[in-house]
Structures are given as C-alpha cells and as structure tokens.
Amino acid sequence: MRRAKFCINSMWLGTVLAVLCGLATAQQALDLEGHAVNPFAAASGKPVVLIFLRRDCPVSGRYAPVIQKISNEYANRATFWLVYPDKTDSPQEIRKSVADYGYHLPVLRDPEHALVKLSRVQITPEVAVFDRDRQLIYDGRIDDWYIDLSRARPAPTTHELRDAITAATAARTTLAQKEVRGVGCYISDVE
Amino acid sequence: MSFPLRSILLVLLSSTLAPMLPAQSSGPASQLTFNRDIAPIVFRSCSTCHRPGEAAPFSLLNYSDVKKHARQIADVVRSRTMPPWLPEPQELKFADELRLSDADMNRIVTWVEQGAVEGAPADLPPAPRFVQGWRLGQPDLVLKAEKPLILPPEGTDTYWNFIFRLPIQQTKWVKAVEIRPGDKQYVHHANILVDRAHASRQRETDPGAGFGGMEIRIESQVFDPDSHLLFWKPGTIPYVEPEGMALRLDKGTDLVLNTHLQPSGKPEVIQPSIGLYFTDHPATKLPMLLQLENDLKLDIPPGEKDFLVTDDFTLPVDVDLMAIYPHAHYLGKDIQAQATFPDGTKKTLIHIPQWNLNWQAVYRYAEPVLLPRGTTISLRFSYDNSVENPMNPNHPPLRVKGGNRSTDEMCHLWLQVLPVNFDAANGDPRMVLQEALARHNVEKNPADFEAHYNLGAMLQARGNLDAALAEYQAAVKLRPDDATGNNALGAALVQGGHPAQAVSYLQAALKARADYFDAHYNLGFALAQQDDFAGAVEQFQAALRLQPQDAAVEANLGAALAEMGRYADARAHFQHALLLDPTQPIAKENLEALKEMNPR
C-alpha cells in the first residue's frame, strides 16, 4: 500500500522514480497465484537453492530427472525452489510444465529478474546456492553433463550443485569454483 | 521484505546499460533490423523446423520468437550448430543443403550484437507458409505403429525398432514414403529397412511392440539389394523417387522403422506412422547400396586420439552416385570419403570434420555424380578414444572394437549408386558390383566370416556353385557353430547334388538355432533325397510349426507322406497348401498324381 502511494506521489521525480517504482514490485518473486514470496523467509535457517528454468529450453527439460534426484536427496538439508524468469510465461503454462515433468518443488515466477540478479545466473538451467547467512556461495551449472548445445557427455564428471550444497551445509568448506557457467538458454534473452 | 539493497542497485545499473554493446568498435556498422535483414534468413533457414509440430523445441516465426532466443541464436549460428548440417562445403553439391552462408551468419550475429532491433513493419516479408499434414497430400496407405513406446524421462539415448506389417495383397511400387516418427522433438532420426522375410518379428517379445537395438541387420534370402535410403531427420521433406526408381513391396513384406530417441526429462509417448505413395510404374532403373566398411580394423586403444581406418574400393562398372550415408558412433571424429577418377583427379564425396552421431543423415547429391569404372572410392574415418573426446562413452577410456552396441564403434559408408552405361547382355550390373565388393572384402580381411559368406551367396546367385561352396566352407571354418553359415553350406551342397554331405551341416545349423525354419526345410529336403522320408516328415513338420502359413512346406510334407504311402495325410496337406497358395505347383502336380493313382 505504502509503496503504491509513494509511487503516485512521486511523479515529479520523473524517470528515476518510475524505475524505482517498478523495482518495488520487481524485487518480488511471485508464486503461481501472484503473491509475492520471499524464498529466504521460508527457509527456516536452511541453505536455499534456486533452480532457474525456461519452459522452452530443451536442456532445462532434460535436467528434470537430475534436479529431482538431487532435491530429493538433500530435501532435509536445504530448501529448493524452481524459478521461471520468463515474464511471458503464464502461471497456467508454468503449472502445466511443472506437472508434465513431475516436479514436487515449490515454484516461483521471477518476471522482473529480481532473483536472477541476486543470484547472478545467466543461463537456464543454472542454480544459485545460498548458505544459512543468505550469502551466495555458488551460481552456475548443475554439473558438466552438457559440453555445448549439441553435445552431452554420457554422464557428468563434475557435480557442482552437490558440492555447493555440501559446502553450504558443512561448517566451513570452501568451494573450488564459486561460479561455472552452464549450457542452455540465456536468461537475458527473455528480459 | 528483506532483499538486500544491493540488488536494487544492480537493477538500476543494468537497466541503464540494457541495450547490448555495439558490434564493431571500428566505426558504427549500419543498423540491421529484423524485418529487413533477418526475417528473410530465419524464414528460409530456420522456420521449417522451428514451428509447431516440428522437431525444434520452440518456434522461430516472428520477431518476438527470435528476440526471446537472440543471444543463443548468435551462439548457435556462429558455432554452426544451427541449422544442423555437418558436411563442409565442397564442389559436389548436396540437395537441400542447410548450411548458412557466411554472409547470413554474420548478419545474424551482428544484428544480435547491435541489440536485436525490430525495424519498420513495412520491411517485413510475408510469413512463410507450410503445408499442413502430410507433405505430399493424403498417402495411398497410412500405417501406424501398433503399440506406442513410452520413452522414459531420463537415461541414455534409446534405439527402438517398430515393425509395420504391410496389409497389401499384391506387389506395389512405392514412389515416396513420408515418415512421421512420432513426436519429432524426441526423435533424432529414423530410417526404414525392408524386411522381406519377417526376420525382425522374431525379435519382438510382445507382438506389435517393436524391439530395442541400435544397429539391426536383416538377412535376405534372394539377391535383392534394398536400394533405397528411406531416412528421416528433423526437417526432412519427403523425397519422391525419380521416374522408374520405385521401391517394390510385396505381400507379406514388413517395414522396420529404426528410431533414435532422446529422453526429454519427462515421459514421452512415441508412436510413429508412415505414409506410402504408390505409382503404377514398376521400377526400370535399379539402384543399389554399396557398403564400404572396415569394422574389423576397429580396435582402438584407450587414450588414442587419432585412430585412422580406411577402405578403398575400385568400381568394376560405371555408376551414378545418388546419395551417401556415413556412419560411426561416439568416437567418430573426422569422416571423409573421396573419389579418385581413372585419370587420377580426386574429388571429395563428403567431409565431416566434427562427426556428431546425433545429427547423422543421408546426404543426397543435387545432381547424380558419374563415377566411371576404375574410379576408386576411399573412406578415411578417424576416431578419438581419449578423455578429450567428451562424447566418449567410457570414463576412463577403454579399448573399443567394432560392433552393434552404441558403445562399440562402426566404420560404415553407404553409397546409393545406379549402374549406367552397361550392356544388359552381360547380366545384372548390380551383381557384378556386389561380387566385386564381396571379393574386395575377402581380400581385405581373409578372416571375415561375413565377407566369405556374402561372396558365397553372390557366387551361388550367379550360378557359380563350386566357387560358392569354397566360400561357404571358408566361412564355416571361421565360425563352425554359426547357424547361418552351416545352413548356407548345407543348402549349397543339396543344390550341388550332395545331400549326404549336407546333413551334418544342416544339423549343426539346427544345433545352433533350433527354431531355424530354413535349416529344417533344407534338412527335410536333404533327407528326402536320400529316401529317409520319415526323417524328412519330421523336419517339414518342425518347419511348419515355425511358419504354419508356408505353402511350399505343406506341399513338401505332403510329398514325403505320399512317398511313405500315407496318401490320405498327403492329400490333406496338398489341399492345405493350395488353400494357402492356389498356384503351388508341387501340391497341384502331386494332387493330380494322387487322383490318377486312386481315381475316386
């Protein structure tokens, strides 16, 4: 409420405030009912893993079984969210996609890329792992299964997401790499 | 509400920088727009696959479609991942080449770097129009796989074979086949094999459900080279055979659709169908498939980065080369085929510098390529079995040999050729070619069972029985327990008038494969020729249990029974044979003979 008022009252500040005004909603990720959700508030002190997906991205799709496996395995140690950054995706379309792939994870839309920016991710599928203090400790690919868009290994040889969750849950483990870009679809293409 | 303020700053920053950086630092390139510069390329080179119902995962039909994938598009056209096209440009042009010109590629990349601007609506060319449904109109016959395959969401690529049982009652000539492989997004490629002897049905555990397997081979009993490459890959437009090159399909023929499927992350239902277009014109030109290969040389040590396999075959007749289909698995690296003409000049037939099994394809030449007699076709395939080959199925690398599993390797090159400038009086030029190829394979690998077997079959078909026997004997010596080899040797001995010698080989064939119809049939025949009719009856009965609808077996069984004096039983079998095939000559003749013996 207050924000809306602020917005209207501040017209004289011109473009800058218009942007800020947009931001007030921009930093909200939304659930599929359109309510603003803070994925960290619900984490009850556990590390948070954000998994960025695009519905129209085949590599995103093929990772579904991997994502399910890892999120099941670490269900007690971290909180997982699926995040859809394409603002043209309707909640119904996302709901259908989530059901088709058989996900049982909570879902967020991130139409203004607030979470994208917070997480520094650039591609789908990529993940961001935040430790208990909400520090971003890793962003990037899940593993090295894909070499490029037309070639995948028979099986991955590195496991960045697992390593990051382990690091986030262990007391003081450091990661070799805090950021490894993934293979898939650019998030900036849907800005 | 507790997002760190940092994120707000980031948004502000990036939103002021939002437009992408200009392309060249060396002076401003002129502004490219989608409507004027890019749409024509996309409509021509991308939209065929990138539209609803086609193979690509999203549509590229208008500005917003393309904008939503702009950076990725720049990446994939720059790396030449898209459009999918593996061969390097060469003098001998392929039909339906998908490769983008350098100019078009640069235009797309520059446009994206300039910020992917839409441009003036007036510049937009009309949207591409596509034929809905069957590309060539309603087919004369549509066949749907009896049972769908449920493709699991994960795991390695799946190779599945669907059998289509043709419901035709007489011979048909096919001028075109449209393959609808099921949901095209999950089918990498598919090709049809013609199975004239129901060899594949035995591999179905659940009738109608198909069977797994990447490389399937179909034995054919007569010299009848399947001369057509019926191949589907994303974007394939059905190919209408040139006049006179129709494919023959007989009553009882099966078509086997071999598909390569890629899991999508969710379960998918795959149920292909095929549409056949008939013509009244029987084939007058008979092309054939030449297979160059050297699988026996595939023994690739772990760590080997550049393992070279070659094969060189010199043509004994003039041919027109119509199409080419190279095939290797995951270690394949640089794939090349070259023709050296009789005058010593060389031309590249195909060169794929970075093999990718996922995009394998049949390549048709824009114009047939004349390869005169004396031209040598050379294949040079190299393989990378090191850790640096990310597609390597083994971690750490293992020794890999030739074989049919996807983790084995292959070195095959198929050429569709049409013999030309020949004198029909000298016999079918395809036989000359096939015999030369079989001889070449025997010389190349004297320990190659199949090479001896194929040469034997070819010599037998050409009426050179003694030479054929020698090849079959060589084959059986290499694989004494092989059912096919023993049966062929036995059959050739029977044909040569040595039924007594044939028996032990036919028995060996049955020991190796108890349900081997041909071997039962041949053994029955060999025993009957030695007047062991009781033994013959037993064999024909066994054959009949395997193929109850076979009129020839019924007739032979009747004949053996008649020889034993069991006329009533004999008559019943002759009658059944005629029911199955009213023209069955042995049954007809014997029934008449029975009537004369016992005119009632």
**Equal fold, B141-285 vs B287-445:** yes
Mean pLDDT for all residues in chain A: 83
pLDDT band at B197 (very low <50, low <70, confident <90, very high): confident
A35 in any annotated domain: yes
Q: Exposed, middle or buried by CB within 10 Å (0-12, 13-18, 19+), for B501?
A: middle
A22 in any annotated domain: no
Phi, psi of B56 (to 5 degrees): -75, 155
* Comparison of pLDDT for B216 and B109, the residue scoring more: B109
A24 in any annotated domain: no
Would you call the peptide bond into A125 cis, given omega within 30 degrees of 0 as the criterion?
yes
CA–CA dist B475, B460 (Å, integer): 14
CA–CA dist B550, B252 (Å, integer): 12
A73 CB within 8 Å of a chain B CB: no
At A127, which CATH number?
Answer: 3.40.30.10
Mean per-residue pLDDT, B115-119: 96
CB contact under 8 A, B2 and A154: no
Q: Please tell me which of the candidates B11, B58, B356 has its beta carbon nearest to residue A23.
A: B11
Å between A80 CA and nearest CA of chain B: 18
> A37-51, B476-490, B511-525: which range is least confident on average?
A37-51
B4 CB within 8 Å of a chain A CB: yes
E-strand stretches of B483-528: none
Say whether pLDDT at A23 is over 60.
Answer: no
CA–CA dist B274, A178 (Å, integer): 51
Of B142, B153, B271, nearest to B210 by C-alpha is B271
A7 in any annotated domain: no
Q: Which of residues 29-58 of A touch B (CB under 8 A)?
A: 38, 40-41, 56-58
Say whether pLDDT at A21 is over 70.
Answer: no
Tell me the HSE value of B489 on the side-chain side, using a 13 A CA sphere: 30
Determine if residue B116 is left, alpha or beta; phi over 0 gives left, psi from -120 to 50 gives alpha, anything else beta.
Answer: left
Å between B575 CA and nearest CA of chain A: 58
Task: Write out chain B residues lying below 8 Å of A88, CB-based.
Answer: 68
Write down the pLDDT at residue A172: 62
CA–CA dist A122, A139 (Å, integer): 9
Across the A:B interface, residue pairs with CB atoms under 8 Å apart total: 105
CB contact under 8 A, A189 and B71: yes
CA–CA dist A187, B254 (Å, integer): 48
Number of structural domains (chain A) is 1
Mean per-residue pLDDT, B373-377: 97
CB contact under 8 A, A38 and B2: yes
A107-109 vs A79-84, strand pairing mode: parallel
Cα distance from N-terminal residue to C-terminal residue, chain A: 27
Which sign does the torsion angle of CA B242, B244, B247, B249 carry?
positive
Write down the pLDDT at residue B67: 95
CB contact under 8 A, B7 and A66: no
A114 CB within 8 Å of a chain B CB: yes
Say whether pLDDT at B530 is over 70.
Answer: yes
CB contact under 8 A, A189 and B264: no
Say whether pLDDT at B2 is over 80.
Answer: no
Q: Exposed, middle or buried by CB within 10 Å (0-12, 13-18, 19+), for B116?
A: buried
Helix residue ranges per DSSP H, chain A: 2-9, 15-26, 58-62, 64-73, 91-100, 114-119, 160-169
The pair of structure tokens assigned to A128 is 């961001």
Say whether pLDDT at A184 is over 70.
Answer: yes
ipTM: 0.77
Mean per-residue pLDDT, B217-236: 70
Would you call the peptide bond into B396 cis, given omega within 30 degrees of 0 as the criterion?
yes
> B204-213, B389-398, B422-431, B577-586: which range is least confident on average?
B422-431
Q: Please tell me which residue of chain A has the smallest CA distance to B115.
A: A189
CB contact under 8 A, A189 and B84: no
Say whether pLDDT at B385 is over 70.
Answer: yes
A97 in any annotated domain: yes
Phi, psi of B192 (to 5 degrees): -100, 135
Report the residue of B5, B50, B68 to disrupt the A interface, i.e. the one with the largest count of A CBs within 10 Å: B68
CB contact under 8 A, B1 and A56: no
Judge whether B455 and B471 are in contact, CB under 8 Å.
yes
pLDDT band at B29 (very low <50, low <70, confident <90, very high): low
Write down the pLDDT at residue B116: 96
Say whether pLDDT at A65 is over 80.
Answer: yes
Q: Please tell me which residue of chain B has the smallest CA distance to A144.
A: B390
A110 in any annotated domain: yes
Indicate the length of chain A as a whole number: 191
User: C-alpha distances in angstroms, B178 versus A100, B192, B218, B237?
Assistant: 30, 10, 22, 8
Write down the pLDDT at residue A173: 65
The architecture in CATH of the region B141-285 reads Sandwich (2.60)
Say whether pLDDT at B13 is over 80.
Answer: no
Angle at B380 between CA B379 and CA B384, to 5 degrees: 140
pLDDT digits (tens, 9 = 90+) for B54-105: 888 899 999 999 999 999 999 999 999 999 999 999 999 999 999 999 999 9
B356 CB within 8 Å of a chain A CB: yes
Q: Please tell me which of the candidates A56, A60, A154 has its beta carbon nearest to residue B156.
A: A154
pLDDT band at B122 (very low <50, low <70, confident <90, very high): very high
Task: Write out chain A residues lying below 8 Å of B154, CB-based.
Answer: 62, 64-66
B597 CB within 8 Å of a chain A CB: no
A133 in any annotated domain: yes
CATH fold for domain B287-445: Jelly Rolls (2.60.120)
Write down the pLDDT at residue B597: 81
pLDDT digits (tens, 9 = 90+) for A115-165: 999 999 999 999 999 998 889 999 999 999 999 888 888 889 999 999 999
pLDDT band at B381 (very low <50, low <70, confident <90, very high): very high
Indicate the length of chain B as a whole number: 600
CB contact under 8 A, B154 and A100: no
The pair of structure tokens assigned to B349 is 């037939």
What residue numbers bound the domain in which A37 lies?
29-186
pLDDT digits (tens, 9 = 90+) for B433-469: 988 999 999 999 999 898 899 899 889 888 899 999 9
pLDDT band at B183 (very low <50, low <70, confident <90, very high): confident
> B204-213, B379-388, B413-422, B499-508: which range is least confident on average?
B204-213
Judge whether B16 and B106 are in contact, CB under 8 Å.
no
The pair of structure tokens assigned to B557 is 């069984």
CB contact under 8 A, B153 and A102: yes
A189 CB within 8 Å of a chain B CB: yes
Mean per-residue pLDDT, A38-62: 90
pLDDT digits (tens, 9 = 90+) for A84-124: 999 999 999 999 999 999 999 999 999 999 999 999 999 99
Write down the pLDDT at residue B596: 86
Judge whether A151 and B391 are in contact, CB under 8 Å.
yes
Q: Please tell me which residue of chain A has the smallest CA distance to B84.
A: A150
E-strand stretches of A3-64: 29-30, 36-37, 48-52
Would you call the peptide bond into B83 cis, given omega within 30 degrees of 0 as the criterion?
yes
Q: Please tell me which of the candidates B72, B153, B390 has its beta carbon nearest to residue A147.
A: B390
Q: Please tell me which residue of chain A has the smallest CA distance to B265.
A: A62
CA–CA dist B292, B416 (Å, integer): 11
Task: Write out chain A residues lying below 8 Å of B156, CB-based.
Answer: 154
Q: DSSP for B532-545, please give it.
A: -HHHHHHHHHHHHH
Å between B237 CA and nearest CA of chain A: 22
Judge whether B46 and B60 are in contact, CB under 8 Å.
yes
Helix residue ranges per DSSP H, B23-149: 39-45, 63-67, 70-78, 102-113
A12 in any annotated domain: no
Q: What is the pTM of this model?
A: 0.81
* Domain limits, chain B: 18-123, 141-285, 287-445
For chain B, percent of residues with pLDDT exceeding 90: 65
CA–CA dist B526, B535 (Å, integer): 10
